């Protein structure tokens, strides 16, 4: 029996239990292939979040924390959630990044906060991250990875999952845990935030702007923020997840302009 982190095991068991799991997501308006339940993914992410908080310095700088503490609860409420059930932190990291984990955990890097000009621009980023969580993008990525059997032994080792047993057992365990690591996008702990697909990014942009509008923010600031991201990340060798080349900034900005124009705005 391979030794496996309990949370990871829960996800694996859930995925075995629900082999055919196509779920319709009301808010998203499409069906999703989901082997793992919301709670299973949240449980699996809990350990990674705790580990991240130990490894990555958390900013206590009020310039950052007061803005996040002001903006995040409004967005969470606008997205139908309860702020008390979410955790949001600023991490000291110069990269232009932000991320979210299942179960309602959001991390914003100081680097990306430095290019924001106002609360609404942070709202664009927080809204985007909440949308990734509400749309269960990690669960979907996990399920896709399971199907594709993308398992990387190195990733599972980095995640602190140790697999042993017969060679076959070990390989199967590594595949499952590798898929989990990729699904959570928690490469942050191990050096890189893993990118979502272009489709997930555009969906998160759209959801984020919807939440922004509901929370009373000027959604044109999402467009302005992305223009700033485009300018700031130009020339960077490896674009961060948040500014990943898929979708290209232009596609992203055009998409946001289209959504905001449906809200009756001209950005
Ligand atoms: Zn994203």
Between 209 and 175, residue with greater pLDDT: 209
Q: Where are the alpha helices (DSSP H) in the chain?
A: 6-17, 38-55, 62-78, 110-114, 119-134, 137-148, 153-158, 167-184, 198-214, 220-233, 249-262
Q: Which of 162, 117, 149 is nearest to 15 (CA)?
A: 149
The 10s digit of each residue's pLDDT in 85-98 is: 999 999 999 988 89
Output the CA–CA distances (angstroms, integers) from residue 186 to 11, 47, 189, 195, 258, in the order listed. Answer: 16, 11, 6, 10, 31
**What is the rounded distance in angstroms from the CA atom of residue 108 to the CA atom of residue 126?**
8
Task: Enumerate the domain spans of the chain.
Answer: 6-262
* pLDDT bucket at 7, cuts 50 / 70 / 90: low
Mean pLDDT of 59-81: 98
Distance from Cα 133 to the centre of ligand 1, integer Å: 10
pLDDT > 90: percent of the chain = 42
Residue 59 banded pLDDT, cuts 50, 70, 90: very high
Determine the distance separating the centroid of ligand 1 and the alpha carbon of 241, expressed in angstroms: 7
Q: What is the pLDDT of residues 176-233, one digit of tens each?
A: 666 666 666 554 333 345 567 788 889 999 999 999 999 999 999 999 999 998 888 7
**194 CA to centre of ligand 1 in angstroms:** 10
Whole-number Å distance, alpha carbon 216 to ligand 1 midpoint, is 22
Q: What is the mean pLDDT of residues 53-72?
A: 96
Q: How far is the CA of 144 from the centre of ligand 1 (A)?
A: 17
pLDDT level of residue 3 (50, 70, 90 thresholds)? very low
> How close is the Cα of 2 to the center of ligand 1, in Å?
33
Centre of ligand 1 from the C-alpha of residue 167, in Å? 36
Mean per-residue pLDDT, 251-265: 92
């Amino acid at each position: 029996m391979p030794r496996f982190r309990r949370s990871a095991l829960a996800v694996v068991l859930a995925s075995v239990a629900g082999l055919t799991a196509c779920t319709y997501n009301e808010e998203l308006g499409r069906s999703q292939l989901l082997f793992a339940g919301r709670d299973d993914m949240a449980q699996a992410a809990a350990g990674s979040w705790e580990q991240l908080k130990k490894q990555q310095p958390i900013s206590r700088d009020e310039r950052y924390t007061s803005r996040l503490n002001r903006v995040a609860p409004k967005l969470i409420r606008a997205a139908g959630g309860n702020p008390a059930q979410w955790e949001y932190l600023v991490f000291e990291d110069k990269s232009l990044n932000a991320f979210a984990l299942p179960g309602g955990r959001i991390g914003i890097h100081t680097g990306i906060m430095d290019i924001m000009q106002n609360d609404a621009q942070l709202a664009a980023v927080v809204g985007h991250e909440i949308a990734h969580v509400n749309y269960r993008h990690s669960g979907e990525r996990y399920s896709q990875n399971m199907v594709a059997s993308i398992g990387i032994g190195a990733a599972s080792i980095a995640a602190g999952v140790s697999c042993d047993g017969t060679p076959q057992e070990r390989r199967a365990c590594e595949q499952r845990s590798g898929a989990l690591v990729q699904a959570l996008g928690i490469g942050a702990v191990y050096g890189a935030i893993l990118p979502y697909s272009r489709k997930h990014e555009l969906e998160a942009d759209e959801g984020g702007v919807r939440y922004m509008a509901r929370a009373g923010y000027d959604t044109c600031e999402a467009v302005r923020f992305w223009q700033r991201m485009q300018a700031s990340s130009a020339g960077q060798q490896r674009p961060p997840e948040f500014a990943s080349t898929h979708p290209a900034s232009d596609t992203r900005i055009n998409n946001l302009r289209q959504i905001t124009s449906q809200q009756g705005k001209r950005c």
